[in-house]
Amino acid sequence: MSSIRHHIPESLLASYASGELSYAFSMVVAAHVSMCAECRARLVTHETVGGVLLDEEHHSTVTSGLRSRVLDMLDTPQPVRPAPRRMGVFPGPVAEALSYGEPKWRRLGAGVRQTVLKRSDEESVRLLYIPAGQAVPDHGHNGLELTLVLQGAFSDETGTFGVGDVEVADDELEHTPVAAEGDACICLAATDAQLKFNAFVPRLLQPVLGI
C-alpha cells in the first residue's frame, strides 16, 4: 500500500495530459506519476478521455451519450503503466534530466544545496538538498510552486511531506519548511516566479542563486 498522501491536483494532471503544462511543472508531475500508482491511473484516464473528445471533435457536438461515456471513464479504474527507470532516489524523469549522472550541487548556505535542472525568465526547476533538521528560510510565493519529496521528509505550516508527496504552494502560502530528522531531504521543486524571502540575506542572494 502506498504511503503517498499528497497528490497532484486534478487540474494539473489534466493540463499535463493535454500537453499544456510548462516544462518545469511537467517534470514534477512526471516524476510524481512515476512514483505513484494512483496518479498514473488517473493520468491514463485523463489521456483516454482526451482521446475520445479529440476523436469526436470534428464529427459531432457533445451529446448526452458522449458526456455519459466520459463521466463513466472518469469513474472507471484504468490499467497502471509501469514506472520508468530510476537512478537511486531519482525517478526516471529526473534521472533523464541529469543524463543519468550525479547532481552538480551548489551550496546555498547552512548546508542547503541545489542543482538547477532548467531556469528561464518564466520558470525554474531544481533539486534541493536540505540536511536533517535544517530549515529553509521563511518565504512566500509570487506564483505557483510544486515540491516533490524524493528522499527524507519535511514539514511546514500545512503538514508533513514524505517520499512521493507533493506540496502545492501558491501566493497565499507563507511557510518555513524544515527537514525531518534522519536522511537529508532531497526535493524536486518547480516555480513560475521568484520566491518572496522575508530575511535580508536570502533576498540579497536571489539574483545570484536564481530562486
Condensed to tens digits (0 to 9), the pLDDT of residues 123-139 reads 999 999 999 999 998 89
Question: Which cell is 184 given?
Answer: 537529508
pLDDT per position as a tens digit, 132-173: 999 998 899 999 999 999 999 999 999 999 999 999 999 999
176 pLDDT more than 70? yes
Domains and CATH numbers, the chain: 10-75 (1.10.10.1320), 101-209 (2.60.120.10)
15-19, 36-40, 54-58: range with lowest mean pLDDT: 54-58
The pLDDT assigned to 1 comes to 44
* Cell 497565499, located at residue: 172
pLDDT per position as a tens digit, 88-111: 999 999 999 999 999 999 998 889
Classify strands 106-109 and 112-119 as parallel, antiparallel or unpaired.
antiparallel
Q: Label residue 61 by pLDDT band (50, 70, 90).
A: low
CA-closest candidate to residue 85, choices 70, 71, 73, 100: 100
Pair 174, 140: CB distance under 8 Å: yes
57 pLDDT more than 80? no
Question: Which cell is 183 given?
Answer: 536522511
Alpha carbons 48 and 69: distance in angstroms, whole number: 11
27 pLDDT more than 60? yes
The pLDDT assigned to 68 comes to 61
* Cell 550525479, located at residue: 102
The pLDDT assigned to 200 comes to 58
The pTM of the full predicted model, rounded to 2 decimals, is: 0.82
79-83, 115-119, 124-128: range with lowest mean pLDDT: 79-83
Alpha carbons 74 and 211: distance in angstroms, whole number: 37
Alpha carbons 126 and 211: distance in angstroms, whole number: 9
Residues whose CB is less than 8 angstroms from the CB of residue 134 and which lie 6 or more positions away in sequence, other chains included: 110, 111, 112, 178, 179
Pair 187, 150: CB distance under 8 Å: yes
